[in-house]
Structures are given as structure tokens and as C-alpha cells.
């Protein structure tokens, strides 16, 4: 009884947030889905992932936004990986409503050939996410280039790399 | 200019369409309880099943080992080896399950998420070695039981020779490992290679920038 009342106390908040933010989820679907089924599946999976993320970290609303965006990016990446695993994947744009099909075709034509990382950056740009928040979502920091890294002094020697690798997986 | 054109295309999307209709409360109720990860990436159930089975086998083996120890039986070395193997397998699987931490996995930043996914898949593929070794032991016990029914002499000579039994276990474990390598593991290997390639692609693009 207590558990259910506690859950129902936080759930409406989560649901209203997801309802209000559903356009963001559709935005990333525009970049990664090729047809109606993929679009709906990706949308559903992102909403499920976002709710799982938010439930796992019940914090302030800013954190919720980050969790939603991470769910969008991670699920889109998994979507691409799943498509790569499929032997015969049809990448033609096929949507049911003619207006949407037209808009999608012209939009995908304009972003044709760009990598997934660029798609993620474009998505974050279109969603007006501040540039300093991007590393927290992609996990990519603005590191110096390879040449600069080579010039930089060598890091402190790790005396037990084998043991470290064996004991710590990450 | 290019971004301007892109924004033009972006804004040309219809406000309301069948593809982007507002989410209904009834649909949301169902979606929020759904597992977002597909079976290929979600190994929690498989790990839980294995943990359950290994725990049961471990408890049975502990009881048998105790009985063998008390009666100074001939099987105590094999039971002892199996006990250690089952204990380590149990530790490995529990550790993997705790490491995977599925409820928070999708909340990680992209590169960390892909890295962790790689480690989980890699360790899960490793866990098949334990499955092969455990199966090797139990098949050897099956061979012993079969011999006890078919040929008492052969059974007597085998049951008192730990070296023979050890060699049979190794042979059976390697055979099962090879079998798994060609049946169950290729799909996980392919999945791992795809995740790795994707993560490396992301890294390469980030460094080119």
C-alpha cells in the first residue's frame, strides 16, 4: 500500500514531463528512423528508456532533462547498431502521410552522408542545448588532437596495469 | 547558408501528423513499464537464470562434498574441484550482473554507455567458458553413471583414478567450448564487433574535428 502510494506520488510528475517533452523524442527519430515502424519503435524505446533513467535518479528537473537527452542519444545509437546487424536493411524513407514523407525526404537529403556523431550534435543544436552540456551527454570531452597528445609529457606510469585490468572491468 | 537550409527543411515538418501525434496517457502507461533494451543487449534474465542454476548445483555439490569428506570417499577431489569451479562461476556471474546495473545503464553518456556495453558482452562471452567447464564435469559424472550400468570393471578402474577423470573432464569441456564457439557465440561476437566498431567510429569522428 505504502509502496504504491509512494510510486503514484512521483509518477504523474514523470509522465507529465514525458508528455511535454515528446517533441524532443520525435526530433531524434527524424534523424535516425527510415520508416513508420522504425519511427514508432524508436520513439517508444526512447520514452521507456527516459522513464527508466529518470526513475533511477530521482533528482531535480535539470537532471531529468539530461536523462531524457541521454536516453534519446543512447537509444538512437542502439537503433543504428541493430540496423547494422540486420543483413537486409531497407534504408529508403517510407512514411504513411504524404506531407511527412515529403519533409522527411528533403530533410534526410540535406543531412545525407553525415556521421551519427554529427547527427547527435545537430540534434542537440536544434534542441538548443548549450555547447558546454554536450560532453556530459556524449561522453566526449574537448581533448587535444593526437599530435598534441604525443607532444604532451607521458602520464604517470601505471605499475600494475595487468592487475588493474583484471580487477577492474571498466 | 547550409545550416539555414537545414533549418528550413526542419521547420517544414507538419505541426501535426500521423507520425508525430501527441502521446496518449493510456499509451504512456504501457510504455513507461516497458524494457527499452532488446533481447540481444539485455542479458539480465539470462544471468539470473544462470545464477539460480549455479547456486542450486553449488549447494548440491557442497552437500555431496561434505558426505564424501566424512566417509573418505573416492570422489572428494572431483567434488572439491567442481565446488571451487561453481563458487567462482557464481561470483563471476553475480559480479557481471552487479556491474551491468541495467536500471542505470542507459543513463550513462554515449561513449561510457557503449564502453560498458562492450565490457558486458565481452564478459558474457567469457562466461561460456565456465558453462563449458561445468558441463564437462557433469558429463563426466554421466559417463561414470553409464559405465556403472554397462561395465562394472571399467567403472571401478575409472572411479579410482582421478587422472583419467580429470582428462575426460578436460576433453569434454573443450569439446563443449568448441561446440558453443560455433553455435551460440557467433551472434554475441558479431554484436560485440558492431558495438566496438560504432564506438571507434564515434571516437574517430570526434578526433577528426
Is A149 inside any structural domain? no
Work out the number of other CB atoms within 10 angstroms of the CB of residue A28. Answer: 26
In this predicted model, what pLDDT tens digit does every residue of B84-124 receive, in sequence order?
999 999 999 999 999 999 999 999 999 999 999 999 999 99
Which string of b and e fits B64-84 if b means at least 16 CB within 10 Å?
Answer: bbeebeeeeeebbebbebbbe
Residue B13 and residue A103: Cβ atoms within 8 Å?
yes
- Would you say residue A62 has pLDDT above 80? no
For the residues A17-30, what does the mean pLDDT come to? Answer: 90
In a domain, residue A28? The reply is: yes
Per-residue confidence band for A2, with pLDDT thresholds at 50, 70 and 90: very low
CA dihedral A130, B23, A50, A6 (to 10 degrees): 120
Q: Average per-residue pLDDT in chain A?
A: 81
pLDDT in tens, B130-153: 999 999 999 999 999 999 999 988
State pLDDT tens for residues A24-46. Answer: 999 999 999 999 999 999 999 99
Give first-to-last CA distance, chain A, whole Å. Answer: 39
Tell me how far apart the alpha carbons of residues B111 and B108 are, in angstroms, rounded to a whole number.
8
- The set of residues, in sequence order, having a beta carbon less than 8 Å from that of A126 and lying 6+ positions away, is A27, B7, B10
Place of cell 529518470: A54
A positions 55-114 inside 8 Å of B (CB): 55-57, 67, 70-71, 73-75, 77-78, 80-82, 84-85, 95-97, 99-100, 103-104, 106-107, 110-111
Query: How many whole angstroms separate alpha carbon B86 and alpha carbon B50?
Result: 11
**A42, A76 contact by CB (below 8 A):** yes
C-alpha cell at A4: 504504491
Q: Give dist(CA A139, CA B108) in Å, integer.
A: 8
Highest mean pLDDT among A111-120, B19-28, B150-159, B184-193: B184-193
Q: Grid coordinates in use for B140?
A: 563426466
Q: What pLDDT, on the 0 to 100 scale, is given for residue A3?
A: 41
HEC string for A78-129: HHHHHHHHCCCCCCCCECCCHHHHHHHHHHHHHCCCCCHHHHHHHHHHHCCC
Residue A106 domain-assigned (yes or no): yes
Total domains in chain A come to 1
As to burial, measured by CB atoms within 10 angstroms (0-12 exposed, 13-18 middle, 19+ buried), residue B198 is buried
Q: Is the pTM of this model over 0.90?
A: no
pLDDT computed for residue A159 by the predictor: 59
Nearest partner of B122 among B183, B170, B189, B56, judged by Cα: B189
Q: Which range marks the domain in which residue A103 is found? A: 2-143
Nearest Cα of chain B lies from the Cα of A110 at a distance, in angstroms, of: 7
Residue A161 to chain B, least CA–CA distance (Å):
17
Task: Name the residue among A95, A106, A136 with its Cβ closest to that of B9.
Answer: A106
> What's the CA gap between A95 and A101, in Å, rounded?
5
> What is the complex's ipTM, to 2 decimals?
0.87
CA A40-B102-B207 angle, to 5 degrees, is: 75
Residues in Cβ contact with A94 at an 8 Å cutoff, skipping those fewer than 6 apart? A34, A35, A36, A101
| 8 A C-beta contact, residue B19 and residue A97 | yes
Amino acid at each position: 500500500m505504502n509502496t504504491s502510494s509512494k510510486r503514484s506520488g512521483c509518477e504523474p510528475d514523470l509522465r507529465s514531463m514525458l508528455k511535454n517533452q515528446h517533441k524532443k523524442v520525435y526530433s531524434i527519430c527524424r534523424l535516425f528512423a527510415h520508416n513508420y515502424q522504425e519511427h514508432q519503435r524508436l520513439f517508444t524505446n526512447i520514452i521507456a528508456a527516459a522513464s527508466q533513467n529518470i526513475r533511477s535518479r530521482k533528482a531535480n528537473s535539470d537532471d531529468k532533462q539530461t536523462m531524457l537527452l541521454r536516453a534519446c542519444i543512447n537509444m538512437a545509437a542502439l537503433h543504428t547498431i541493430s540496423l547494422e546487424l540486420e543483413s537486409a536493411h531497407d534504408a529508403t524513407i517510407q512514411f504513411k502521410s504524404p506531407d511527412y514523407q515529403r519533409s522527411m525526404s528533403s530533410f534526410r537529403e540535406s543531412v545525407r552522408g553525415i556521421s551519427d556523431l554529427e547527427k547527435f550534435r545537430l540534434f542537440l543544436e536544434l534542441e538548443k542545448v548549450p555547447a558546454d552540456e554536450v560532453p556530459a551527454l556524449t561522453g566526449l570531452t574537448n581533448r587535444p588532437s593526437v599530435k598534441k597528445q604525443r607532444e604532451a609529457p607521458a602520464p604517470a606510469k601505471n605499475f600494475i596495469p595487468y592487475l588493474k585490468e583484471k580487477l577492474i572491468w571498466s | 547558408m547550409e545550416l539555414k537550409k537545414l533549418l528550413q527543411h526542419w521547420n517544414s515538418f507538419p505541426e501535426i501528423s500521423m507520425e508525430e501525434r501527441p502521446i496518449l496517457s493510456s499509451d504512456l502507461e504501457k510504455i513507461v513499464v516497458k524494457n527499452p533494451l532488446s533481447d540481444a543487449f539485455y542479458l539480465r534474465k539470462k544471468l539470473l537464470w544462470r545464477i539460480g542454476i549455479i547456486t542450486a548445483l553449488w549447494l548440491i555439490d557442497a552437500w555431496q562434498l561434505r558426505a564424501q569428506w566424512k566417509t573418505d570417499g573416492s570422489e572428494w577431489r572431483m567434488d572439491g574441484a567442481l565446488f571451487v569451479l561453481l563458487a567462482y562461476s557464481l561470483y563471476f556471474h553475480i559480479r557481471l550482473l552487479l556491474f551491468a546495473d541495467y536500471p542505470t545503464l542507459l543513463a550513462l553518456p554515449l561513449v561510457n554507455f557503449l564502453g560498458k556495453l562492450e565490457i558486458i558482452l565481452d564478459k558474457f562471452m567469457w562466461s561460456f567458458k565456465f558453462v563449458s567447464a561445468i558441463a564437462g564435469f557433469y558429463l563426466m559424472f554421466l559417463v561414470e553413471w553409464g559405465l556403472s550400468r554397462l561395465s562394472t570393471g571399467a567403472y571401478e578402474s575409472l572411479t579410482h583414478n582421478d587422472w583419467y577423470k580429470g582428462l575426460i573432464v578436460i576433453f569434454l569441456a573443450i569439446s563443449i567450448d568448441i561446440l558453443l564457439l560455433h553455435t551460440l557465440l557467433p551472434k554475441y561476437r558479431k554484436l560485440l564487433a558492431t558495438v566496438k566498431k560504432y564506438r571507434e567510429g564515434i571516437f574517430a569522428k570526434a578526433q577528426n574535428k
